Amino acid sequence: MDVANPARWSPEDSARRVLVITAHPDDVDFGAAGTVKVLTDAGIEVSYCIVTNGDAGSSDPHQTAAEIAEIRQREQRAAAAAVGVHHVVFLGYPDGEVEPTIALRRDLSRVIRQVRPDRVICQSPERNWERIYGSHPDHLAAGEAAIRAVYPDARNHHAHKVLMAEGLEPHTVPEVWVMAASAPTIVVDTTHAFGSKLAALRCHQSQVGEGEHLEQLLRTWGESQARAAGLEEGHLAEGFRVVNTA
């Protein structure tokens, strides 16, 4: 694929099921909610797998982890519904402590075998030195674990044999789309999905407050992606690096 001239997503997409894997509630909404809305509008079934409950996502020292987790799960389910997603799995790993362990690879492989997606969308396992906030250690670990679960774990009868005992047959994911990649190879025109992306992010009130700053921030990001991909003036886009994993 030509990194300098990324392909544009087409509604003739052959994928029928997509699984998005992220570290925290709201990660998918910042990184890919516009794309998710475009996909669900095209009749593609999208599921979310969130590695943590976001239970460290509060500046209030008196709030318990359980209270934060309950709030953030509720917010993520509402945000998912705003872009047409109704299947959300939370793995419940501790926020701030994610590592690409065998246990996490097993749990992600389980979800992959259950959902049996044609595509996995995940976070980048590569640190972005230009924008460090996007490279939270949990993001990097969740991205790495997702890639390892796609290849080789989820497709291998002999990996995580407990999954076979649970009746979960291996599944090969044909491709992975990596969010926030430094060199995207495909872009999705999200112009008409912008309102839904904004609505999804505003569901995360514990993180963004009333979200007054969100619209301009998201427009700036979307416009820069669209401009780099050669889309027409006024368009918005989200970019991904496509990895062939068949």
Residue 8 included in any domain: no
Instruction: Identify the pLDDT of residue 1.
Output: 46
Residue 145 included in any domain: yes
Residue 195 included in any domain: yes
Residue 37 included in any domain: yes
Instruction: Identify the pLDDT of residue 128.
Output: 86
Listed residue (52, 71, 61, 230) closest to 141, CA to CA: 52
Per-residue pLDDT of the chain (246 residues; tens, 9 = 90+): 455 689 999 999 999 999 999 999 999 999 999 999 999 999 999 999 999 999 999 989 999 999 999 999 999 999 999 999 999 999 999 999 999 999 999 999 999 999 999 999 999 999 988 888 888 999 999 999 999 999 999 999 999 999 999 999 999 999 999 998 878 999 999 999 999 999 999 999 999 988 778 999 999 999 999 998 899 999 999 999 999 999
Amino acid at 81: A
Domain enclosing residue 74, as ranges: 13-244
> According to DSSP H, which parts of the chain are helical?
27-41, 65-82, 102-115, 137-148, 161-165, 194-202, 205-208, 214-228
Q: What is the CATH number of the domain that holds 203?
A: 3.40.50.10320
Residue 2 included in any domain: no
Residue 5 included in any domain: no
Domain count along the chain: 1
Instruction: Identify the pLDDT of residue 86.
Output: 97
Residue 7 included in any domain: no
Instruction: Identify the pLDDT of residue 210.
Output: 81
pLDDT for 150-176, tens place per residue?
999 999 999 999 999 999 999 999 999
Element (H, E) at 50: strand 45-52
pLDDT for 95-136, tens place per residue?
999 999 999 999 999 999 999 999 999 999 999 888 888 889
Instruction: Identify the pLDDT of residue 212.
Output: 79
Residue 91 included in any domain: yes
For the chain, helix, strand, coil in percent to 5 are 40, 20, 40
